[in-house]
């Protein structure tokens, strides 16, 4: 099957990616090393702190991003920083806020389209694995001050920065 980004992003983001418009005209920040739910419940709220501080008037939208799974399309729904904080407050809430399928990210973007925050949950490595020990991944796509801020906030996670267009092109179902 031929890869098309339209199958992986919501209807708002798909044409932005294809044309290289924000947030895809910048960079994507992500951890290189293995990270776990116990890390995500610290890193994601830190990103939400940044969003609350610099995007307080922007409406936020969230959707399940199947970009790295199988390209299933879903629609974004309105959300808030407070709701997102509740979803990542504990390992159990983090896990219950995700799809049961691996490589499906929660994706959040503002109406200004200045960034795209994504975070995932991978399958348990063993039966009855402690929730905090489940492997995850997260990314922040944007530009300028937002990227610099995420690099500072996530510095303890061995952060890599890649051009956004290449990052998303290299990771598809």
Residues 98-107 pLDDT 10s: 766 666 788 9
| End-to-end CA gap in the chain | 10
Tokens of 95: 């896990």
CB atoms under 10 Å from CB of 88, counted, come to: 21
The residues near 86 (Cβ < 8 Å, ≥ 6 apart) are 93
142 touches 30 (CB < 8 A):
no
Q: Quick one: pLDDT at residue 9? A: 62
CA distance 39 to 135: 9
Helix axes 145-153, 37-54, angle to 10 degrees: 150
Our CA angle for 91, 32, 98, nearest 5°, is 30
Q: What is the pTM of this model?
A: 0.87
pLDDT 10s digits, 22-68: 888 999 999 999 999 999 999 999 999 999 999 999 999 998 875 55
Q: Quick one: pLDDT at residue 144? A: 95
Q: What is the DSSP string of 144-172?
A: THHHHHHHHHTGGG-EEEEEHHHHHHT--
């Amino acid at each position: 099957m031929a890869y098309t980004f339209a199958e992986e992003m919501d209807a708002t983001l798909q044409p932005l990616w294809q044309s290289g418009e924000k947030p895809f005209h910048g960079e994507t920040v992500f951890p290189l090393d293995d990270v776990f739910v116990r890390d995500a419940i610290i890193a994601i709220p830190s990103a939400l702190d940044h969003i609350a501080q610099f995007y307080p008037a922007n409406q936020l939208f969230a959707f399940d991003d199947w970009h790295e799974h199988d390209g299933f399309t879903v629609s974004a729904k309105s959300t808030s920083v407070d709701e997102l904080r509740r979803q990542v407050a504990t390992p159990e809430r983090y896990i219950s806020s995700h799809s049961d399928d691996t490589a499906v990210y929660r994706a959040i973007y503002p109406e200004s389209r200045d960034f795209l925050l994504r975070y995932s949950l991978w399958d348990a490595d063993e039966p009855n694995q402690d929730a905090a020990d489940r492997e995850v991944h997260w990314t922040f796509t944007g530009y300028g001050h937002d990227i610099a801020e995420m690099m500072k906030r996530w510095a303890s996670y061995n952060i890599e920065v890649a051009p956004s267009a290449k990052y998303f092109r290299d990771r598809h179902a």
